[in-house]
Amino acid sequence: MNILEVFEQFPTQESCIKYLEKVRWGDQVVCPYCKSERTAPAEHRHRCYNCKTSFSVTVGTIFHHTHLPLQKWFLAIMLMLNAKKGLSALQLSRDLRVNKNTAWRMNMQIRKAMNQVEHRNILQGIVEMDETYIGGKPRKGTKGDGKDGKHKPGRGTKKAPVIGAVQREGSVAAKAVDKKNMKGRNMRAFIRQHVNTEKSSLYTDEYKAYMGMSKVLPHSVIRHSDWYVDGDVHTNTIESFWALLKRGMFGQFHSVSRRHLQRYVDEFCYRYNLRNASSQFAFNLTINRALGV
């Protein structure tokens, strides 16, 4: 999908509604409030004879209550899916001619459809796990947590940790966590949640939180201090994903609160996991999820 294809497939509000109705209901319209099938169409909307309400296809979805043409939503989804390095709210507001707050809200709503909680990818085979730290330069006036008030790099900083695992040639899963939860049992819980431990083996570096992983699945440790790469045992795949995430977050995260970090992580995982899918497939999938189908 590109801009032209969105305009071709969805030239009008009506065509957008029709598409959403087909995806959400197929041939049988169901009242979103009372689940009754006793409904009748009424000008871009439907009436329910059971609970006497009228409703549109966007009720209970990310598209509801926005007063924006659905075409702009579809364009926003397409633009986000195509933006390998992420799409800032400022850029989206320029592209769609909406104000920046609206663009920011659209961005965040679309990220909701990309979440990894309702839709989990189960990894299997050779799985690499690693962690990274997200955060631009600290705000002025905040003190670092180093002894001299300076910010320490890597595992000692106040930057927000993200843990993740990737299947070689496969999908990635990643989670923003509190620094106090960078512990073995949390790491193991993450692996149990996202990896088929019966059919996988795990590669990590020698960070202490990964010790004890062999309780869960076969575990090989790469020693970064060694000058050679021990054959197949490396974490290059997950490190490449972190590089992608960090490049995308750079310049955005200083305005992203810790609270929203997972949404951004979800977006980058989602795009990565669809990297070999057609853009039409990715678009349809995103609409499906946005409708809760």
59 counts as binding Zn ion under rule CB under 5 A: no
Task: Provide the edge-to-edge strand list for the sheet that holds 160-167.
Answer: 172-176, 160-167, 123-134, 195-204, 219-221
Instruction: Output 33 or 207, the one with its CB closest to Zn ion.
Output: 33
38 counts as binding Zn ion under rule CB under 5 A: no
40 counts as binding Zn ion under rule CB under 5 A: no
Instruction: Output 19 or 33, the one with its CB closest to Zn ion.
Output: 33
Q: How far is CA 31 from the centre of its chain?
A: 29
Task: Choose the stretch contacting Zn ion; rule: CB under 5 A; options: 31-39, 136-144, 155-163, 271-279.
Answer: 31-39
Q: How far apart are the first and last CA of the chain?
A: 21
31 counts as binding Zn ion under rule CB under 5 A: yes
233 counts as binding Zn ion under rule CB under 5 A: no
CA atoms of 181 and 78, how far apart (whole Å): 35
CB of 29 to Zn ion, least distance (A): 10
CB of 109 to Zn ion, least distance (A): 25
30 counts as binding Zn ion under rule CB under 5 A: no
* Bridge partners, residue 161, by sequence: 133
Instruction: Output 60 or 125, the one with its CB closest to Zn ion.
Output: 60
CA atoms of 35 and 22, how far apart (whole Å): 17
Q: Coil, helix or strand for 272?
A: helix
Binds Zn ion (CB under 5 A): choice among 36, 54, 66, 124: 36
CA atoms of 210 and 19, how far apart (whole Å): 47
Instruction: Output 25 or 133, the one with its CB closest to Zn ion.
Output: 25
Instruction: Output 39 or 237, the one with its CB closest to Zn ion.
Output: 39
How many residues of this chain bind Zn ion (CB under 5 A)?
A: 7
CB of 65 to Zn ion, least distance (A): 19
CA atoms of 89 and 182, how far apart (whole Å): 31
* Residue 175-194 contact track with Zn ion, rule CB under 5 A, x = bound: --------------------
Instruction: Output 48 or 274, the one with its CB closest to Zn ion.
Output: 48
Give backbone dihedrals phi and psi of 196, rounded to 5 degrees, phi first. -75, 95
25 counts as binding Zn ion under rule CB under 5 A: no
Q: What angle do CA 16, 4, 43 make, to 5 degrees?
A: 15
Binds Zn ion (CB under 5 A): choice among 17, 23, 30, 51: 51
Q: What b/e sequence results for 91-100 when a residue is b if at least 16 CB atoms lie within 10 Å of its CB, and e otherwise?
A: ebbeebebee
* Bridge partners, residue 125, by sequence: 200
Residues in contact with Zn ion by the rule CB under 5 A: 31, 33-34, 36, 48, 50-51
